[in-house]
Amino acid sequence: MKRFLVVCAAAMLCCSLAKGQEAEDSGRGAGLSIIPRIDAGVLYDGENKAFSFTFGNTSLYTLFEGNITDSWSFSLCNHWVASDYSYGTFSDALLEPTKGLYHLNLPGGIGSSVASNANNFVDWAYVTWAPGDFEFTLGKQVLLMGGFEFDDYDFDVNPLMASQLWNSYTCYQWGITAGYTIGELGKISLQGAMNARNSGFSVALGWEGEYGPYSMKWSVLANPNYNYAGAPWNVLVSLGNRLTFGGFSFTADYFNAVGDRNFISDGTQMLYPSLYGHTVVTSAVYEIEDGWDFGVKGVMNLADKDHPYGFNNIKDAVEIPDVFLTDPDDVYGFDELSTFSAGLWASWYPVEGLRIQAAAGVNSLREGVGCFYGMLGATYNFNLKLW
């Protein structure tokens, strides 16, 4: 709550500063976007041979951002409403008292963990100063961890198609980032921020650039391993690569870690990369000028069996061979941890601000067991210019 009050105060200060600028300041302006998304779909559990209902990424976001001057800007994104993951039937979704179609995404709210809500209620809240080729960002922001998969707004993502890392890494943290653009060579950035466990600071170095049809986002993020066994630092390497030709784009991301597969089975989030391993995310997208997008996406989450205690090292776990512990009460075999997902999606934009989206695919709960899904929904982006 203290952080929320600080964010509100900062936003009010931004508004006051902006309104206090002279009329001839061409860099002044701000807008508010209200983004509701509604999804509905069916899941089929290949192991239990049972259907269930899901509200997918049903949510409500607001995005408040603008320019104070030519060199000062701000952005505040709130995740107000979230859907719970899945239900046996549509009736279960409406009648189950602790879940329901929606729940307010507030710290300590009903229906999700306090940690997850505290992280997601304010996705980001930062101020940026950009004098010349330099850029400094202070506040809650996306960790510098490369990869194009993390570029999309959360309300534009189908979580069933995303990697385990995207689903389980708390990428929004408080910190400061300094960047410098070296002409046409690209941009180098250095960041210091709270780590994903809020137990200390992480440091990151990133490079991004565009070179003809090829663009890249590479980074190295180091997290101190204060309370767990193993190496003193966990290093997350992210390599994002993209080729663009006309309306086609081809993307390949690589991460040297995987997330927690429990996202698919029970909706929990580890809030940290769970395992040493390898994540490969590939996609191909075709955009048509008259308002259609089509895409195919595949993800491989490959757990590294040579490092059985992974990023979530628990000191007592070193006595138990060939298992991985996400929680002291839960033990999973390594043969169940490497997973995959693959799917197709399409988007239609019939009028400005409105998107109709559909998706279908498979996401494995563990090796050899698949969860098949079909999803249909709509997202509306209502934009209001404030000044």
**Reported pTM:** 0.80
User: Is the C-alpha dihedral spanning 374, 345, 80, 32 positive or negative?
Assistant: negative
Q: Rounded CA gap, 91 and 63, in Å?
A: 32
Q: What is the pLDDT of residues 186-236, one digit of tens each?
A: 999 999 998 766 667 889 999 999 999 999 999 999 877 654 445 567 788
**According to the model, what pLDDT value does residue 180 have?**
98
Tens-digit pLDDT profile for residues 43-93: 887 777 778 888 889 899 999 999 999 999 999 999 888 876 666 666 565
The low-confidence residues of the chain, meaning pLDDT below 70, are 1-27, 84-120, 196-199, 225-232, 260-276, 304-337, 365-369
Report yes or no: 380 and 35 within 8 Å, Cβ to Cβ: yes
- What domains sit in the chain, N to C, each tagged with a CATH number? 42-52+131-385 (2.40.160.10)
